[in-house]
């Protein structure tokens, strides 16, 4: 997962949101653990993810999608950003 993290990502703030929702809990050793409600939310997302992706990508050819990503990556690099 470290390859997905960026310097500006605030894991503590994100974890706080999940704690407030009851999707995470702190165990006796101070570690974060997914709760039953969190697991249910994860499974709902997993169930609906294909339909969400299909809606987002509707009417976009795979080749066009790849081209768009390449162009966006070039724009990011041209302005001093990095793309992993």
Q: What pLDDT is stored for residue 6 in this prediction?
A: 83
Average pLDDT (34-55) is: 97
DSSP codes, 13-35: HHHHHHHHHTSEEE-TTS-EEE-
Q: What pLDDT is stored for residue 40 in this prediction?
A: 98
Higher pLDDT, 7 or 27: 27
Give the tens place of pLDDT for each residue, 8-32: 899 999 999 999 999 999 999 999 9
Q: What pLDDT is stored for residue 45 in this prediction?
A: 96
């Amino acid at each position: 997962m470290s390859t997905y993290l960026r310097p500006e990502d605030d894991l503590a703030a994100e974890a706080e949101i999940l704690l407030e929702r009851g999707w995470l809990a702190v165990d006796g050793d101070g570690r974060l653990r997914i709760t039953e409600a969190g697991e249910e939310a994860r499974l709902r997302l997993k169930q609906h993810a294909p339909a969400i992706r299909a809606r987002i990508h509707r009417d976009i050819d795979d080749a066009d999608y790849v081209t768009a990503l390449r162009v966006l990556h070039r724009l990011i690099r041209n302005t001093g950003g990095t793309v992993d």
